[in-house]
Amino acid sequence: NAGVTQTPKFQVLKTGQSMTLQCAQDMNHEYMSWYRQDPGMGLRLIHYSVGAGITDQGEVPNGYNVSRSTTEDFPLRLLSAAPSQTSVYFCASSYSTGKHEQYFGPGTRLTVT
Amino acid sequence: GQNIDQPTEMTATEGAIVQINCTYQTSGFNGLFWYQQHAGEAPTFLSYNVLDGLEEKGRFSSFLSRSKGYSYLLLKELQMKDSASYLCAAPLRAGSYQLTFGKGTKLSVIP
């Protein structure tokens, strides 16, 4: 099992550019989520999905879109990047919501200039 | 929303015992998680408590008191590799299964 994979590992964007952060898992997990981690702020939930076709907003959803067309993939889209979106982004998955540990991907370090 | 408090930094000596505290404010409690995160890496799961009491897993133990909204992570026989951030996580809001994380406690183990 590859577990949770994320691409790219590093990315630099200019303000206003768009991009998609990829996340995939091969553990047949129903629950997937995206977090951002900033110094002094901890992990904050952006969006999550409890299954294919179902997504919902977390604590800090503004500026981000998600979709879940398959169980395996959960991409995060930045439509118009802003410097405030400079962060480390982690994707995570778990067998079901809440009571099961989340497995995190290696992260994507994004810089917006 | 949820407010999770944990100390920002702690330092302990190799071979010693350290306790990292976490307080949270949620009614309709759904469990509390502890994760470990080494610098530059992803968080990894350490423990999950849903009932009161102490759960032991090797050198690591986690305690929960639901009535006090309090948990701690106990690390025994500290090793240099235990230097990491330790993240406490609880439900985002009452009845929710989505997690909110504390800001993490950075533990430095010194010789």
| Predicted confidence (pLDDT) per residue in A17-48, tens digit | 999 999 999 999 999 999 999 988 889 999 99
In angstroms, rounded to a whole number, what is the distance separating the alpha carbons of residues A103 and A25?
Answer: 9
What average pLDDT does this structure show over A62-73?
97
pLDDT at B1: 55
Residue B21 makes CB contacts below 8 A (sequence gap 6+) with B6, B7, B70, B71, B72
In angstroms, rounded to a whole number, what is the distance separating the alpha carbons of residues A91 and B29?
Answer: 24
- Residue to test with chain A: of B9, B34, B103, B105, most A Cβ within 10 A: B103
The model's confidence at residue A60, banded by pLDDT at 50, 70 and 90, is: very high
- Chain B residues with CB-CB distance to A under 8 A? 1, 30-31, 33, 41-45, 48, 50, 87, 89, 91-92, 97-104
* Three-state secondary structure string covering chain B: CCCCECCCEEEEECCCCEEEEEECCCCCCCCEEEEEECCCCCCEEEEEECCCEEEEECCEEEEEECCCCEEEEEECCCCHHHCEEEEEEEECCCCCCCEEECCCEEEEEEC
Cβ of A42 within 8 Å of Cβ of B97? The answer is no
Is residue B20 a contact partner of residue B10, using CB atoms and an 8 Å limit? yes
pLDDT at A87: 98
Beta strands in chain A (DSSP E): 4-7, 10-13, 19-25, 31-38, 42-51, 54-57, 64-66, 76-78, 87-94, 103-104, 108-112
**Which 3 state secondary structure label does DSSP give A84?**
helix
**A76 residue type, one letter:** L
- Show residues of chain A in contact with B91, CB under 8 Å: 98
Each of the 111 residues of chain B gets a pLDDT tens digit; together they read 568 999 999 999 999 999 999 998 866 666 899 999 999 999 999 999 989 999 999 999 999 998 888 999 999 999 999 999 999 998 777 666 688 899 999 999 999
Cβ of A40 within 8 Å of Cβ of B44? The answer is no
